[in-house]
Structure formats: C-alpha cells, structure tokens
Structure 1
Amino acid sequence: MSKIIKGSVAFLAAQMVGLGVSNSAETCFEPRYVPASYSCNTGAGTGKIQAFDDFSSGSCTFIEAHTVQVPIECPKPAGRWVNATFTKKIVNGGKSNHNMSNVGVTAYIATGHAQTCSSVGLKPSSFEGNICASGENRANSGGNGWNQIDYRFGTFGGYVTGGGTLTEQLYEQTFCWRAGDKRDWDNSDRLVAWYCQ
C-alpha cells in the first residue's frame, strides 16, 4: 500500500537528484517500487549495448530492488468549519436622536475568512456554496467542525440552513446571511465561523 508523504523537496533531495523537481515548500511524494535490474554500459567505441550476459568486461552492474519517492500532486485537505476569533472595540455609531454627539458602539470584530483559515493551516473555501455560519444560518454538515461552532451571540429559530452564502459589514462587524434573509443586523446575524479547506 502506498503512503503519501508531504514535505519539502529538500527532505528527499538525495533521492530526487536528476529528476528536475523544483524546490517547493509543499510537495507530496509517493513511494514507488523499482524491481531489481541490470545496468549495462555501451561497448567501448562501438556505441552498442553489450550483451546482457557479458559480465567478463565488467560493463554490467546489478541494481538491487528499491523504493524511490516520486513527486505527485498533493491531495486537498478535508474541509471544516473554524470558529472566528473576536476583538472588542468601541466604534463610531453616528448621531443618536437624543444627543447630537457621536454615539460609541461596542463592536465585536471577527477575523476575516483568510486569517481564520490560515490560523489552522487551511485556505478559505465553501461547502455547497456556504462560506459562513451565524445564529440564524447554522451549519449542519461540511466535514468536521460544524458541531463545534460556538454560537456566542445566540441563535434564533430553527434555521439550520447549512450556513450562510454572503457577508456584509456594519460598524466593522461581519454579518452572515443567505440571499433573501431579512437584514435586521441583530446578534443572531453575526458571523461566528468560516468554512476552510
């Protein structure tokens, strides 16, 4: 059974000499069995291969069976839901009706899609069009992590939709919806997780 190894080319450089493989940070390898064989030099001055059983001249060398690591395309990692992390911040909420001074709004700033995914070694992705999760658009599938989403701002209704397909920002905060959702910007609309792969 073959086993895929993920690592740097430098790690297997000794076995990869002459194969013209570039020095990539993420290259995968698969072991390939090479059966025993003979390697024979050409006859001196003739340009022809010596006879297979002509060992008297020492032109043939026996090569033991061995395994080499062959570069292959790396398989994609399994997708999963990843909780966003938050920074609490007071932002300018504009003018209130009763006070003409600017109103400070307590905002919870979520990490972006790329930043959240890179924190666990993955990249932004989607599952059946869903990219985010909120208390009104809760995930129930998509690999690992959907059952570990922290709905820290609460949930509303029985909206297990598989997640949200679009995001918008208000006061630097990210909200997660599906097309046609009512945009009332409440706590259960706040984005809490991203889909990564």
Structure 2
Amino acid sequence: MSRRFDDKRILVATHNAGKLDEMRQLFAPYGVEVVGAAEMNLAEPEETETTFVGNARIKARAAVEVTGLPALADDSGIEVEALDNAPGVYTADWAETPNGRDFFMAMTKTHRLLEEKSAPHPRKARFCATFVLAWPDGHEEIFAGRATGTLVWPMRGATGHGYDPMFQPDGHDRTYAEMDPAEKNRISHRADAFAQLIAGCFG
C-alpha cells in the first residue's frame, strides 16, 4: 500500500522549465503547489548510479535534505532492444557535446550502430521514466513508467525533444515528434509513471 500524499507543497527536483510546467498542470487538479529546483536555488547533484531509479533517488534525496520538503524526481531514457538496451540510463550522455546536448547527433549514432550490426526490423525500443517521491522522514515511493515502440529512420516530426523524432509508439503511425504535445503526454512513459503515482498516493 502506497503512502498517501497529504502535504500542500511538493518540490519537483528538476531545472527543466518545460518539465516543471508539465508537472504543474498534472498536479493542478489535486490542490498541490509545485515548486521547482531552480526556484529553491538547488544545485544539480551528480548522477552517479547505473539505473533510472538510482539516479532519480539521488535527485529526490538531495532536494529533500536541502529544503525539508517532500520531493519528486524522475530519471528517464530510451532503451533499444538490439543494442542490449543502450543507451538507457546514459541517454543524455550520448547527446553531450562541449556546447550542450545534441540529440540529432545521438539519434544518428543510434541509427549507425543499428546499421553496423544489421539489426532486423522492426527495431524495438522503449522509453522509460522512473519517479521517486521522497519524504523528509526517509520514506519513498517508486513508480516506473514505460512506452514501447519502434525506431524509424529518417527522423520525422518537429515537436517534442530528445529521441522523439525517431520513436513511433506502438499502435500509432506517427512518431512522438509528429504528435501534438498534449497527445504525446497522454500516452508517454512519463504519463504512465504519473498515473501510477496518482493512483498510489492521491487516489
């Protein structure tokens, strides 16, 4: 049985303004005030774990320790079946350059690796999002969301971010990047994790 969330404020441990806005909209019906890591002047902790849950826990715990507020953090990425589930937890690392993240480069690398090993079609992949909700007393709840699909090439679509132009979710004929953001957000890995969070802690 998950712990019910009865606080009036929750700290979402992200410096990503888009993700924070999305969380504010999702939490709005539940009467919870959402504050972000940047508003609280929190540093971004180093993500040293090798799992989504491990890195989400680092971010949530660091935020709780500094602010004393219950904190929600997520870690996400894409796992490509034919690449032994890489890049996975290292998804953002594959996009790192001296001038910031370049996901066009990361997607091109992914396609090249699949071609080099003549990976058969359909090239299955899944987006993963793991939420850790941590309380000041040490209690935590974990929710893991998934969205399965196939990788397409060439990339398609101009909306979204990350690997969205390459990922076509199962049951759809468009990539995430060809969808209206609201449509994507209803079926995404993050939406799956959030639905579990609401059912577990707010239902």
Measured against the shorter chain, the TM-score band is under 0.3
Give the structure-1-normalised TM-score.
Answer: 0.24
Structure ID, larger Rg = 1
- The structure with the largest helix share of the pair is 2
- So what's the TM-score if we normalise by structure 2? 0.23
Q: Which has the higher strand share?
A: 1
